[in-house]
Amino acid sequence: MHLKNLTQAPTSELINAFRAIVGSRHAITDAQAQKPYLTEWRDRYIGKTPIVLRPGNTDEVSQILRLANTNRIGVVPQGGNTGLVGGQIPFETGHEIILSTGRLNDIRNVDAVGRTLTVGAGMTLTEVQAKAQSMDCLFPLSLAAEGSCQIGGNLATNAGGVAVLAYGNTRQLVLGLEVVLADGRVWDGLRKLKKNNTGYDLRDLFVGSEGTLGVITAATLKLFPNPGEGATALVAMNTLGAAAALFRHVSEQSEDLLTAFEFFPHIALEFVTTHIANTRMPFSVPHPWYALINTSRSRADETSASNIEAVLGDAIDKAVITDAIIAKSTAQAHDLWRLREGISEAQKPEGGSIKHDISVPVDSIPSFVTRANNLIEKMCPGARPVPFGHFGDGNVHYNVSQPKGADKSTYLAQWEEISHAVHDLVVEMGGSISAEHGIGRMKRDELARLKSPVELELMRSIKTALDPNGILNPGKILARPTNT
């Protein structure tokens, strides 16, 4: 089955008609003003568009899509533009319009009894977290881009982050959605129900669809009781195998909820302490591997520091780990988290980095990293693997920095060849080529290479059923036959 490829460039009359829907103040055609919408965080894709539209409500979104569908104009939904696979950036043809959701940031319903919050898709994640806190509740989704990314983008990418271990990814944190379909119809699925077994789950279909099946305009989110004061510890280990043993030890021994179990190698710490302000080596001697652990009690009036101290003391006695620092204050916990959260940023000054967001079964992480490192050394001697990420989720950000002193563009030219090899290994080990960032444009061809024909056929059928004219984020996740 082929996807239809009927989209075309809008005429100036159509551009005026799109502008009239949102009003001139919210329609951006000036090249300079469009820039923030056309480049992404990694500067990997630079797109072109005739117009950026910033609708202020669901009805305006509906009018935009109806007009685009009638006239076969491609529409790229964009939230906070923090996506890491190029899904939110239009192609270089300049034919597609951008629908930016930032003004859809209203609070629609607050339910402190059922612990739900219904908000517009354009609310930033930080704003959602703050609103939940004002209700004395927790919205647990947390990631380094939270000040900019929007809840609609989080849902469209099914974002993960650092609390998946305890609370699940975004899919597990949503009860209902409002979605504008390709032809402009509005699906009101803003239900607050925890139980709803009425046929195919449309909500789950739109979560993770990266703007290719509909535009999410609002969501009903699940909130949680505020946990007790957490404990944060940075642990040093000789091998990554020790991280697996420690993960099991902490999961079994801790009386508290394990909310994060992150890992990174010493080279990551070197990069961070060299390039990120106000950071320093936490231990007096280097160790090959580190784990950053967070636990929390179930009640807001309790703390879990003494428990983690006992659990880690036992791990040192059993020689699972070599050293540990337990944060004594919120500021110290924040400093430890800075070491983990600064890794991506700290790789930039080290030159080109070939990145992979993959997952494998948790117990396979050590062997995956060993095998992938061997592969890299053979393919590109001197390249510096910086594997880090969410150990407890089996999610490795297998980033590889260029050899010291190498030419950046020559190194990055090997991206495809290296990624093929890494992804082949991931598939061989029963893993996934995208753990939390999605497919977008960057992994589209890898998805086509590695997903089973049956799965691809089903995905194409769903796309054709919901977006028969192929106007929604064309060429993302699934290829369109020509003209991308």
Contacting ligand FAD (CB under 6 A), which of 178, 436, 446, 467? 436
Q: Does 60 participate in binding ligand FAD (rule CB under 6 A)? A: no
Q: Does 473 participate in binding ligand FAD (rule CB under 6 A)? A: yes
Q: Does 101 participate in binding ligand FAD (rule CB under 6 A)? A: yes
Region near ligand FAD per CB under 6 A, out of 71-79, 223-231, 292-300, 458-466: 71-79
**What track of x and - describes contact with ligand FAD for positions 242 through 271 (by CB under 6 A)?**
------------------------------
Q: Does 84 participate in binding ligand FAD (rule CB under 6 A)? A: yes
Q: How far is the CB of 292 from ligand FAD (least distance, A)?
A: 13
Near ligand FAD in 110-129, by CB under 6 A: 121
Nearer to ligand FAD, 59 or 323 (CB): 59
Q: Does 401 participate in binding ligand FAD (rule CB under 6 A)? A: no
240-253 and 305-317 are packed helices; what angle lies between their axes, rounded to 10 degrees? 130
Contacting ligand FAD (CB under 6 A), which of 81, 129, 359, 399? 81
Question: What's phi and psi for 221, nearest 5 deg?
Answer: -105, 150
Number of residues assigned to the chain? 484
Nearer to ligand FAD, 162 or 383 (CB): 162
Nearer to ligand FAD, 156 or 311 (CB): 156
Region near ligand FAD per CB under 6 A, out of 283-291, 305-313, 369-377, 436-444: 436-444
Determine whether 436 is exposed, middle or buried from the number of CB atoms within 10 Å of its CB (0-12, 13-18, 19+).
buried
Q: How far is the CB of 19 from ligand FAD (least distance, A)?
A: 21
Near ligand FAD in 209-238, by CB under 6 A: 210-211, 215-216
**What track of x and - describes contact with ligand FAD for positions 131 through 160 (by CB under 6 A)?**
------------xxx---xx-xxx-xx-xx
Interface with ligand FAD (CB under 6 A): 41, 76-84, 87-88, 101, 121, 143-145, 149-150, 152-154, 156-157, 159-161, 210-211, 215-216, 344, 436-437, 440, 473, 476
